[in-house]
Structures are given as C-alpha cells and as structure tokens.
Amino acid sequence: PCCAIGPPGGADGDDSLYPIAVLIDELRNEDVQLRLNSIKKLSTIALALGVERTRTELLPFLTDTIYDEDEVLLALAEQLGNFTMLVGGPEYVHCLLPPLESLATVEETVVRDKAVESLRKISQEHSPVDLEVHFEPLVKRLASGDWFTSRTSACGLFSVCYPRVSSTVKAEIRQHFRTLCSDDTPMVRRAAASKLGEFAKVLELDYVKSDIISLFTALASDEQDSVRLLAVEACVSIATLLPQEDLETLVMPTLRQAAEDKSWRVRYMVADKFSELQKAVGPEITKNDLVPAFQNLLKDCEAEVRAAAANKVKEFCENLPEDNREQIIMTHILPCVKELVSDTNQHVKSALASVIMGLSTILGKDNTIEHLLPLFLAQLKDECPEVRLNIISNLDCVNEVIGIRQLSQSLLPAIVELAEDAKWRVRLAIIEYMPLLAGQLGVEFFDEKLNTLCMAWLIDHVYAIREAATCNLMKLVEKFGADWAQNTIVPKVLGMANDPNYLHRMTTLFCINALSDVCGRDITTKQMLPVVLKMSEDQVANVRFNVAKSLQKIGPVLEKITLQNQVKPVLDKLATDKDMDVKYFAHEALSGECLPYEYKKLQWSSMLCVLVYARPQLLDSS
C-alpha cells in the first residue's frame, strides 16, 4: 500500500510513513516484546522501504544485529526465509545470504536450525549460476569456519545445493562433507551423522557406494557413542537407497555391530528405529538377521533398551513376512514377550502392556486364548498401576478378536483396585477409560458392577477427580441415553443436593451443568431445575453463586416461559444477595445471553504420558 516512499517532494509529511517509522525505531526498543513485534512485521518495513533500500540498508543492518535475544533472532531467521520477493525476486535472493550466514553461527541451536531451514528454502530460489557463485561459497565458508557452530550449520546445506551444481563443484561438496565427518569436535561429527542419510539421497548411486558407505562405517564406529547412535538413523536411509544384493555386504555388518554395541544408548537407538530398519532391509534379511537381533534386544541387560524394544513388539510382528509370520512369532518372539511380562523394571512392563494387546489381531482367536490371554490376565494383576492401565486402555483390540467376556472376570477387580488407588492421577486415568469400558462391556455389566464406582468418584476428596467424574457421567449418558440417565444417575446426583457437605452440594450443580444438555429439556426442566432453584437458598455463598452460574448454563436447554417464570425471579433475588460474588454472578446470568454450553475436555491424562527415562527428575520451573 505505501510503496512510493521517499520524500514526495514537498515539505509536507506523509502520515502513512508514521507507523513504519515506529516499526523501524522499535527494532531497537529496549523492550524485547516490541523488538519481536517489529521483527515479525519486517516484511511491512521492507515493503515500505522498497527493494533497493531493503538490500542496501535494511539487510546490512540486520546482518550485524546478532546480539539480540534468542526469540528475536529466531523470528528474524524465519522472516528472512520468506524475503525473496522483498529484495527484488530470485535475481537478488543472494542478498539474503549474509544475515542468514551470521545467524547460522550463533550458539543457540534453535536459531541456527531456523537459519539453516531458511537457507535451504532460499537455495531453491537461486538460479544454478547464483547457486555456484553465491550459495556454494557460503556453504564452503561455513564448512571451514573456525567454530563448530558454523561447521554444524554447513552439514544441513550440502544436500540442497548438490543436485543443482556442476560436477566439479559436486566433487568439492563431497570432499567438504567427508572432512566434516571426521571433524575434531563431536558436535560436528554428530551434525554430519544426522545429515548423512539426507545427503546420501541426493548422491549418485555410485558415490553412495563408494563415499557414503565408508563415511557411514566410520561414523558407526566413532569413539563417541553420541556419534555412533546417530549413524543408526542414517542406516535406514542408506539401506533404502541400495539395491537388495548390496545390503548384505555394505550395510549389514555395521547394523549387526550397532545392535551389539557396548553402549546401551546405541542399542537403544537400534531398538527405537527397529520398524524402520525392518522395512528398509526387507523380508529376507529380517528373517535371518533381525529376528535374532530383536530377540537379543528384548533380553538386553539394560532396561531402557528392553523398554524400547518392547514398544516395537507389535509393529515388528505386524511387518513380518506373512508366509511364516505366525511361526516366527510363536517360536521366537512370544517366549521373550512372556519373560518381559514379569520383568523387574516397571517401565519395561508398561511399555509392553501398551502394545501387547495388538498381537491378538495378528495371532487370531485360538492363539490369543491359549497364549496371550494368560499374559493379559497376569498384567491385569501387575503391582504397577501403569501396566494395568495400559492393558485396560487397549481392550478394544482384544474385544474384536475374542470378545471381552473372556477377560471380564479379571477385569473387574483390576478396575476396582485402580478406581481406589491412593494416587489421584491413577484414579483420574481410569475414569478417563470408563466411557470406553462401558461401551465394551455393555450397559448391564456396567449397571451391575461399575455404576457405584462412578458415583463414588463424585465425592472423592480431590477436586480434579470430582470434576473428571462429572465429565464421565456426561459421556456415559451420551452412550447409554437419557432414559438410562433418568433411572440410574439423575436421582443419585440430585440426592446429593441435600448432603451436609457443601462441596458435595456443589458437585450436584456441576453435574447438572454437564448433564442438562445430554439429558434434554424434559429431564432438565422437570427434575433438575427445581433442585437448582431450591439450592438458591443455600446458606453457603459458594453454592449460591454456583446456582447463578448453573442457571446461566442450563438456560439454553429451557423454554422461554420457564426462564421467565421460574429462573428470572430466583436470579433477581440472588442479585440482591448480601454476598458480592453471588450478586456478581447473578447479574452476569441476568445480563448474559444464554450461551451454548461448552464443556472443556479434560487434558489430565496427558500428564501420565510424561516420558519415562532413567530416573526422571521433572524439575519445578520456578
């Protein structure tokens, strides 16, 4: 809009310049937030300055602004990736290289990575000539920089320029990459190892065989295990590129060595990448090599490795060649799995529990009943709640194959125990699975065995549990219908309105908030509303203002006439309450439009999924 910048001639100012002037000045504001805002609007500034001034003034200034806070530099690195048109199109895109080059050498990894990402992006906008004249020299400078920060950044740039340069330059690029693979600092070797696969993909097959394989072998036997473990990842890409007949000689010796590495971290990496490796090397090698390797990983002496391998059991079995899948699983894998069920380490057991149910679809009904069912039952009795939870959360797989009845006898005690676990987060997790269980087990079983549990949670002493219990009721009603609600849960919920504990009385209100919508107008008007209205006379102010809030929430479900005749008089009365909070919420309810009710989905269960690694210490970020 304001492209025609520059003195218009007359002395009169151009007021459209003012906002841009502010943005430019704020590039140097003391407040980081303002600097950040300005950087995020860099394109506006560039547009106002025009392509020429952007190139000659703005970019030189930005090139030297690498003193700033990380978040500002990060934003800058990102912006510059989309700046091609603002400097005059592909013809001038190389002007963006100097600022990105200086950003690619800062110590903060996120900034450096973002700068490399932007460099990769704009490399595509260089003409082949510019790529050789401007971009490739930059890559060379970074690759031979004094500090390892610049050399690590270089590693990510080889693969984008390689395909588009002449064969002489290609040879140079290969040489640079080779040098970085044997750099003195492990940081650079790690960066090179992590880009090895990507680089291999753009190389001619002959060079993959001659150059990449030797680099791969060297990195995979690096003295530092932090480098070796990254070579495992490269192994996947390299194996995908090579013809099947070369795999045995070029890749397998290294892979075998990695699977038996002295360092548990390398073996962990192999276990973690096992499915990818399996796909990359194909069915024959899998049968002959990977099956025994996988068995070893499942029996590894380090629990972290066993846990990683246990996590892959289902995927590994699924991807086995179909012709003798069942036989391999039954004779080679299942015996290891059986041992893991009684592993000494609970992370291993719970990793296994999260996938083991998936085996039933692969093995079919008979095998499941004969071999897997005893394992499931043992795990349902495991001392570690996480193991039991993981089994329960995956019940649907078994249900499809053998039906849940087989398990229900063992299931019930397990559920009851979890429901009464001393740790509230365990109780919370099982509540989350209730709707799923109810669906699997059916309404009869539920009414008979589980309904009491669900009601008991409503009076749990932890608020988060009571809140989750309310939400659970709503989901159950969605599943079983309003009629079921009217007979089983509504009377009990409403009964709590007379509880001597005000917290329980409030739970009634919270339940009504959650249920009115799914129960429908009839139940809400006839059964719930009278209770709510009566509670407006409660002696505890917290209850009274929650009445006001509830009335606002259930309003949309009610008929206009009910609102007018029953709800409004009560709210009017509450609006003159002696307690100011009650007054406030009554006014809110009276003035507010009756908004459609939205229930926030609970996210608590995500807290249980915190990565388990060694003895984790999650630290307070105070």
Return residues touching other proteins (CB under 8 A).
5-8, 11-15, 17-18, 20-22, 24-25, 27-28, 48-49, 53, 57-58, 60-61, 64-65, 67, 105-107, 109, 147-150, 185-187, 190, 223-226, 261-265, 301-304, 613-622
Q: 364's torsion region: left (phi>0), alpha (psi -120 to 50) or beta?
A: left
* 47 to 75, 285, 330: CA distances (angstroms): 18, 58, 67
Minimum gap (Å) between residue 108 Cβ and other proteins: 8
Select 6 or 413, whichever has its Cβ closest to other proteins. Answer: 6
* 229 to 180, 198, 225, 552, 558: CA distances (angstroms): 17, 16, 6, 58, 63
Minimum gap (Å) between residue 71 Cβ and other proteins: 13
Q: What is the dihedral of CA 255, 257, 261, 266, to 10 degrees?
A: -20
Select 62 or 582, whichever has its Cβ closest to other proteins. Answer: 62
d(CA 590, CA 610): 44
What's the full length of the chain, in residues? 622
Select 56 or 327, whichever has its Cβ closest to other proteins. Answer: 56
Minimum gap (Å) between residue 269 Cβ and other proteins: 13
* Residues in Cβ contact with 442 at an 8 Å cutoff, skipping those fewer than 6 apart: none
Tell me the backbone φ, ψ of residue 500, rounded to 5 degrees: -65, -25
Select 104 or 575, whichever has its Cβ closest to other proteins. Answer: 104
Select 578 or 615, whichever has its Cβ closest to other proteins. Answer: 615
Select 306 or 505, whichever has its Cβ closest to other proteins. Answer: 306
Select 191 or 489, whichever has its Cβ closest to other proteins. Answer: 191
Select 263 or 406, whichever has its Cβ closest to other proteins. Answer: 263
Select 113 or 198, whichever has its Cβ closest to other proteins. Answer: 113
Minimum gap (Å) between residue 353 Cβ and other proteins: 20
Minimum gap (Å) between residue 195 Cβ and other proteins: 17
Q: 616's torsion region: left (phi>0), alpha (psi -120 to 50) or beta?
A: beta
Burial degree of 251 (CB within 10 A; 0-12, 13-18, 19+): buried
Q: Which long-range contacts (CB under 8 A, 24 or more apart) does 242-250 make?
A: 242/205, 242/208, 242/209, 244/282, 244/284, 246/209, 247/281, 247/282, 247/285, 248/285, 250/209, 250/213
Burial degree of 565 (CB within 10 A; 0-12, 13-18, 19+): exposed
Minimum gap (Å) between residue 191 Cβ and other proteins: 11
Taking the CB of residue 300, how many other CB atoms lie within 10 A of it? 20
Minimum gap (Å) between residue 349 Cβ and other proteins: 16
Minimum gap (Å) between residue 119 Cβ and other proteins: 17
Identity of the amino acid at 239: A
Minimum gap (Å) between residue 503 Cβ and other proteins: 28
Identity of the amino acid at 417: E
Minimum gap (Å) between residue 49 Cβ and other proteins: 6
Burial degree of 302 (CB within 10 A; 0-12, 13-18, 19+): middle
Minimum gap (Å) between residue 25 Cβ and other proteins: 5
Q: What is the dihedral of CA 40, 46, 49, 52, to 10 degrees?
A: 150
Q: What is the dihedral of CA 307, 311, 312, 314, to 10 degrees?
A: 130
Select 148 or 294, whichever has its Cβ closest to other proteins. Answer: 148
Select 95 or 411, whichever has its Cβ closest to other proteins. Answer: 95
The DSSP line for 419-474 is HT-SSHHHHHHHHHHHHHHHHHHHHHHIIIIIHHHHHHHTT-SSHHHHHHHHHHHH
